[in-house]
Amino acid sequence: MSPSVPLQEMIRAIRSARTQCEERGVIQRECATIRAQFRQADNEGRSHNLAKLLYVHMLGYPAHFGQMECVRMIASPRYSEKRVGYLGAMMLLDEKQDASLLITNSIKNDLANSNQYVQSLALCTLACMGSAEMCRDLAPEINRLLRASNSYIKKKAALCAVHIVRKVQDLGELFAPSARCLLTEKNHGVLHGAVVLITELCECNPESLERFRKTVPDLVQIMKGLVISGYSPDHDVAGISDPFLQVRKCEIMKLILTKIDTNAFNLIYVFTIQVATNTDSTKTVGNAVLYETVLTVLDIKSESGLRVLAVNILGRFLLNNDRNIRYIAMISLQKIVGTDHNAVQRHRGTIVDCLKDQDASVKRRALELSLALVSASNIRSMMKELLSFLSSCPPELRSQTASGIFIAAERYAPSQRWHIDTILHVLTTAGGDVRDETVPNLIQLITNTSELHCYTVHKLYRALHNDISQQPLVQVACWCIGEYGDLLLRGECQEMEPVQVTEDDVLDVLEAVLQSHMSSPSTRGFALTATMKLSTRITENVDRIRSIVSIYGSCIDVELQQRAVEYNALFKKYDHMRYSTEWLGQRFLVFVCSTFSAGLSPPICGFPQVCDLLDLLGGSEPPLQSSPALGSTAPLPVGTAGTAGGDLLDLLGGLEPTAIMTVLLSVFSVAPTVSVYDKDGVTVTLSCEKQSDSGLSITLTASNSTDSDIRGFTLQAAVPKVCISASNKILAVHLKSSFSFQVNLKMRLRISYTSQGSAVQDTVQVDSFPGLGH
Amino acid sequence: MRFLLLFSRQGKLRLQKWFTPLTDREKKKVIRDMMMLVLARPARSCNFLQWRDLKIVYKRWYASLYFCAGLEDHDNELLALEVLHRYVELLDKYFGNVCELDIIFNFEKAYFILDEFLMEGEILETSKVAVGVSLEEADTLQEGEAKEAWRPLSAGAC
């Protein structure tokens, strides 16, 4: 066909433009000419002009003024103009444009044209941009064409019918009988179109599935014919006869057989034949057909032998040199890893090797599949691989890897120490990419493994010493140092070589964190709190701590400033109590404190509370220097939501009042429930229970039997000074305390609340605890 | 198949075929995204990508021309590669040793060839020969018309 000279000249002119501005100039001039020529009624070069306009449109410039010209050209009797006109319609018009309705009539006329190429143009355009109304109008025409004698038209009509069915599902009924007839055709193009049409009909209308179920034997027959029969040069692709048709057949059989449970013997037969003939795995096309067959087998309810065969083929794909094949193998395995877990496990080695592939897509798939394959039996080896992957993986996969590792570690950790080691490793390599909830989770994990505190704090200290840029790691490390700093300073640790760490070293590190520009505000908060906690654990550098803390009293960050100010106040007011408390008591208190700073980080205040508590105590006994029990209740800088109204309840986020009481109380020996306060419908009962040989827990239950709500309920308890011999116990987050004490016999409760508008405050002393054993 | 794009290494679009209705803005966005994703891939990497909910298959031919197709979930990626390959073969057969310039200067013919091969995102004709034959006949029809248009003039000139 002779090329369009004016078009080519224009293209040349546009391409020779050196700058964007020049190009725009050329295009504007051309468009002006085109517009002028469109306005002229009769023009020889109409098709050239429209072609030029379409080129301009492809470059991205506006070309909507050509729409009417398209409509006019489609109506022209000349084939060349029709051709370009229809092309223009497909490019410039779509179903949302109003102008598209104008061509409906032209299409209708052209569908009835004697020339098959004109008909095909119309069919093509209808399939490309036909709107629902157009489809409804023209559906009968298409149906007629489906039964025409010309196979060229039939195949186009079939795909056009597919478009119509996709747009207007109800018209599927119209095409069903014609589609059935098409299956008997010899022409591959028509067959292909027929299969697509039947697939579409089955997908949108489940009833037609029944009707087409009977076609399955026919389909299998055709497949067999394709696979076994001789060489057909027309349709051959690298030795496979008509792979496109084969694949299509597979798809439709998959569709029919998943929905309807017919026996699949024929399918098995075809499948084995296909496997035998398509084993040339160097060519993509053979693999394409194999792949489709494998997918079909795995989707339908085939017997297990067949499934294993399919999975083995996928395994073979995994070993293929071609990255594409490996990629799709992994995608397919991902789909079945839930159901055929063991079968996929066999290929774990290859999949893990794919983690080291250069290609980003392959890596991603390998990662997802590896995470799905982690199980209790292979956790150690898999984790090694995953951790080495983490250190070298592309940045966009890091976050996914880290969270995958965490989930796997949590589920299958063989030992606590391994779990902590793994998490620490992740934090040191990819700390910046982990999610926020990792920090509290890790803190909880560390708390729960009491025997590893020494080890953990040493490890974290070393990690912190090396690198203070990874925020989650720094936060956890600060918390740990604050909490277990005494273990760190003691120096000995069974599990690691001892390193002498002085108080100055520790404070240096914490100060570095505080001052580093890489630390986020919440990290600084952690560090400040840790410094404060250390003030009770170290002996020599309290002044240094005090100076560090007081600096932040004038920090810009409100949160830090508030904390610093409160800590300073603690220093001033309650210094005398600093060393009077048992370690355990302190650990308990500051643990409560830090849980909230870690998890919720509300501003730490609560001095009204503390004062109240001290008053409570002060009223009955003189405060003594060495008062361990005192230490256990005050100072209690517990986080509240900032309200002063005795909201210990808020403090614990809505836990039962019973739990709150256990926070504040020392544990007594086992006693049955006894009522300690009963007035106006408000009762408080006390019960103790023995939890273990060295621990007891006490529960205070407050109940309201009045008709109205009780507001602002506060229950504070204090115990007088008592000699406590503490054992090294850690208190869980749920704040059920378990200490072992020697005899404590008294408890004073202050209960205050508002009931029916009037405030009530009472103090009750509990002297006897029935059932007190020792 | 949802769409088929051809673009050069410099980011110039050579052919676009959309099998689902999209607005102009959406089309431009898809084109931009595809160019960004595909042109950033190193050589010898996997030909498949994941983008939003579509599978993207791309292949580079003629040193600087990228063929990119967007597939739905149930489509076979390997087969899509074959489809792209078949299209290139058809172009080659039609133009005779095709190169990018052919596609630039004869873009409307590239479209015609595509329309004989794919329709509604599905393959229309699986035989190379059949596609070639129908293209030839259509061209003959067009040229026949052109000759007829000139005949009165030439008769007059004689």
| A327, A660, A669, B144 from A696: Cα distances, Å | 59, 16, 6, 104
Chain-chain contact of A80 with B146 (C-beta, under 8 angstroms): yes
Q: Is residue A375 part of a domain?
A: no
One-letter amino acid at B149 equals A
Output B59 or A451, whichever has higher pLDDT: B59
In chain B, residues with a C-beta closer than 8 Å to the C-beta of A123 are 119
Residues with Cβ < 8 Å from A654, sequence gap 6 or more? none
Q: How confident is the model at residue A267 (pLDDT cuts 50, 70, 90)?
A: low
Give the domain range for residue B32: 3-150
Minimal Cα–Cα distance from A221 to chain B, Å?
19
Lowest mean pLDDT segment, chosen from A266-270, A293-297, A382-386, B40-44: A266-270
A159 vs B42, B124, B127: nearest CB: B124
Q: How confident is the model at residue B70 (pLDDT cuts 50, 70, 90)?
A: very high
Mean pLDDT, residues A494-523: 78
Q: Is residue B139 part of a domain?
A: yes
Output A92 or A660, whichever has higher pLDDT: A92
> Per the structure block, which two tokens stand in for A633?
């209740």
Q: Is residue B75 part of a domain?
A: yes
Q: DSSP secondary-structure letter at B48?
A: E
Chain-chain contact of A3 with B28 (C-beta, under 8 angstroms): no
Lowest mean pLDDT segment, chosen from A150-154, A723-727, B10-14: A723-727
**Residue A702, pLDDT above cutoff 60:** yes
Whether residue A471 contacts residue A464, with contact meaning beta carbons closer than 8 Å, is answered with no
Q: How confident is the model at residue A202 (pLDDT cuts 50, 70, 90)?
A: confident
Is A341 in CB contact (< 8 Å) with chain B? Answer: no
Residue A671 has a pLDDT of 44
Q: Are residues A565 and A695 in the same domain?
A: no
Q: Is residue B63 part of a domain?
A: yes
Q: Is residue A540 part of a domain?
A: yes
Whether residue A371 contacts residue A404, with contact meaning beta carbons closer than 8 Å, is answered with yes
H or E element in which residue B68 lies:
strand B65-71
Chain-chain contact of B142 with A80 (C-beta, under 8 angstroms): yes
Q: At which of A553, A580, A596 does a domain end?
A: A596
Q: How confident is the model at residue A753 (pLDDT cuts 50, 70, 90)?
A: confident
Report which of A590, A602, A589 is spatially closest to residue A558, judged by C-alpha positions: A602
Q: Is residue B157 part of a domain?
A: no
Whether residue A597 contacts residue A529, with contact meaning beta carbons closer than 8 Å, is answered with yes
- Specify the number of domains making up chain A: 2
Q: Are residues A452 and A561 in the same domain?
A: yes
Q: Is residue B105 part of a domain?
A: yes
Chain-chain contact of A243 with B79 (C-beta, under 8 angstroms): yes
Residue A491 has a pLDDT of 67
Is B89 in CB contact (< 8 Å) with chain A? Answer: no
Q: Are residues A456 and A585 in the same domain?
A: yes
Minimal Cα–Cα distance from A31 to chain B, Å?
18
| A116, A440, A485, A524, A601 from A529: Cα distances, Å | 84, 15, 12, 8, 11
Q: Is residue B54 part of a domain?
A: yes
The answer, yes or no, to whether ipTM is higher than 0.85 is yes
Chain-chain contact of B126 with A189 (C-beta, under 8 angstroms): yes
Q: Which of residues 309-338 of A touch B (CB under 8 A)?
A: 323-328
Q: Are residues A451 and A567 in the same domain?
A: yes
Is B53 in CB contact (< 8 Å) with chain A? Answer: no
Report which of A357, A377, A375, A374 is spatially closest to residue A366, judged by C-alpha positions: A357
Q: Which of residues 101-140 of B touch A (CB under 8 A)?
A: 104-109, 111-112, 115, 119-120, 122-130, 134, 137-139
Residue of B nearest to A2 (CA): B143
Q: Is residue A528 part of a domain?
A: yes
Is B95 in CB contact (< 8 Å) with chain A? Answer: no
| Number of alpha helices (DSSP H) and beta strands (DSSP E) in chain B | 5, 7
Longest dimension (CA), chain A: 115
**Residue A659, pLDDT above cutoff 80:** no
Whether residue A698 contacts residue A665, with contact meaning beta carbons closer than 8 Å, is answered with yes
Q: Are residues A585 and A679 in the same domain?
A: no
Q: Is residue B98 part of a domain?
A: yes
Q: What is the pLDDT of residues A547-578, one digit of tens each?
A: 888 888 777 888 888 888 888 887 777 666 65
Is A174 in CB contact (< 8 Å) with chain B? Answer: no
Report which of A477, A541, A532, A467 is spatially closest to residue A503, judged by C-alpha positions: A541
Is A234 in CB contact (< 8 Å) with chain B? Answer: yes
Q: What is the pLDDT of residues B119-158, one digit of tens each?
A: 888 888 888 888 888 899 988 888 887 777 665 544 444 3
- Specify the number of domains making up chain B: 1
> Per the structure block, which two tokens stand in for B130?
């059949």
Residue B71 has a pLDDT of 92
Q: What is the pTM of this model?
A: 0.69
In chain B, residues with a C-beta closer than 8 Å to the C-beta of A327 are 46, 48
Residue B141 has a pLDDT of 87
Q: What is the pLDDT of residues A393-450, one digit of tens each?
A: 888 888 888 888 888 888 888 888 888 888 888 888 887 777 777 778 888 888 887 7
Strand positions, DSSP E, A234-297: 236-237, 240-241
Residue of B nearest to A48 (CA): B108
Minimal Cα–Cα distance from A379 to chain B, Å?
29
Lowest mean pLDDT segment, chosen from A372-376, A521-525, A709-713: A709-713
Residue A588 has a pLDDT of 37
Give the C-alpha separation, B67 to A714, whole Å. 72
**Which of A380-389, A644-653, A659-668 is predicted most confidently?**
A380-389
Give the C-alpha separation, A272 to A275, whole Å. 5
Q: In which residue are the tokens 């570690």 written?
A: A409
Residues with Cβ < 8 Å from A381, sequence gap 6 or more? none
Is B10 in CB contact (< 8 Å) with chain A? Answer: no
Whether residue A118 contacts residue A156, with contact meaning beta carbons closer than 8 Å, is answered with no
**Residue B65, pLDDT above cutoff 70:** yes
Q: Which of residues 179-218 of A touch B (CB under 8 A)?
A: 188-189, 192-193, 196
A247 vs B76, B137, B139: nearest CB: B76
Q: DSSP secondary-structure letter at B42?
A: P
Q: How confident is the model at residue A517 (pLDDT cuts 50, 70, 90)?
A: confident
Give the C-alpha separation, A16 to A13, whole Å. 5
Q: At which of A596, A628, A650 does a domain end?
A: A596
Is A13 in CB contact (< 8 Å) with chain B? Answer: no
Question: What's B93's domain CATH number?
Answer: 3.30.450.60
Minimal Cα–Cα distance from B68 to chain A, Å?
15
Q: What is the pLDDT of residues A372-398, one digit of tens each?
A: 888 888 888 888 888 888 888 888 888
Q: How confident is the model at residue A15 (pLDDT cuts 50, 70, 90)?
A: confident
**DSSP conformation letters of A57-69:** HHHT---GGGHHH
Q: How confident is the model at residue A774 (pLDDT cuts 50, 70, 90)?
A: very low
To the nearest whole number, what is the mean pLDDT of chain A? 73
Residue A732 has a pLDDT of 45
Mean pLDDT, residues A721-728: 48
Residue A529 has a pLDDT of 85
Q: Is residue A656 part of a domain?
A: no
Minimal Cα–Cα distance from B127 to chain A, Å?
5
**Residue A159, pLDDT above cutoff 60:** yes
Q: Are residues A592 and A718 in the same domain?
A: no
> Best mutation site among A244, A323, A396 for testing chain B: the one with the most B CBs within 10 Å?
A244
Chain-chain contact of B78 with A127 (C-beta, under 8 angstroms): no
Q: DSSP secondary-structure letter at A347?
A: T
Report which of A589, A590, A596, A604 is spatially closest to residue A642, judged by C-alpha positions: A604
Whether residue B78 contacts residue A328, with contact meaning beta carbons closer than 8 Å, is answered with yes
B78 vs A51, A79, A288: nearest CB: A288
Q: Are residues A563 and A683 in the same domain?
A: no
Q: Is residue A550 part of a domain?
A: yes
Mean pLDDT, residues A287-310: 77
Minimal Cα–Cα distance from A5 to chain B, Å?
10
Q: Is residue A98 part of a domain?
A: no
**Which of A453-467, A754-768, B58-72, B135-149 is predicted most confidently?**
B58-72
Q: How many CB pairs under 8 A join A and B?
A: 164
Q: DSSP secondary-structure letter at B50?
A: E
In chain B, residues with a C-beta closer than 8 Å to the C-beta of A54 are 107-108
Minimal Cα–Cα distance from B80 to chain A, Å?
9
In chain B, residues with a C-beta closer than 8 Å to the C-beta of A284 are 78, 81-82
Residue A231 has a pLDDT of 55
Minimal Cα–Cα distance from B99 to chain A, Å?
16
Output A159 or A591, whichever has higher pLDDT: A159
Give the domain range for residue A708: 673-766
Q: What is the pLDDT of residues A56-65, one digit of tens each?
A: 888 888 888 8
Mean pLDDT, residues A500-525: 81
Chain-chain contact of B77 with A324 (C-beta, under 8 angstroms): yes
> Per the structure block, which two tokens stand in for A334?
């991902």
Lowest mean pLDDT segment, chosen from A13-17, A232-236, A406-410, A495-499: A232-236
Is B59 in CB contact (< 8 Å) with chain A? Answer: no
> Per the structure block, which two tokens stand in for A16?
């020779």
**Residue A591, pLDDT above cutoff 70:** no
Q: Is residue B156 part of a domain?
A: no
Chain-chain contact of B145 with A80 (C-beta, under 8 angstroms): yes
Three-state DSSP at A630 gives helix
Instruction: Give percent above pLDDT 90 in chain A.
Output: 1
Whether residue A426 contacts residue A402, with contact meaning beta carbons closer than 8 Å, is answered with yes
Residue of B nearest to A294 (CA): B76
- Angle of helix A379-392 relative to helix A416-430, nearest 10 degrees, comes to 10
Is A363 in CB contact (< 8 Å) with chain B? Answer: no
Give the C-alpha separation, A389 to A369, whole Å. 14
Question: What's A730's domain CATH number?
Answer: 2.60.40.1230
SS3 content of chain B, % helix, strand, coil (to 5): 50, 20, 25
> Per the structure block, which two tokens stand in for A622?
């003189």
| A95, A307, A399, B72, B120 from A127: Cα distances, Å | 11, 38, 44, 18, 6
Q: At which of A574, A596, A618 does a domain end?
A: A596
In chain A, residues with a C-beta closer than 8 Å to the C-beta of B108 are 4, 7, 51, 54, 84, 87
Q: How confident is the model at residue A585 (pLDDT cuts 50, 70, 90)?
A: very low
Minimal Cα–Cα distance from B67 to chain A, Å?
16
Cβ density class A326-338: b for 16+ within 10 Å, e for less: bbbbbbbbeebbe
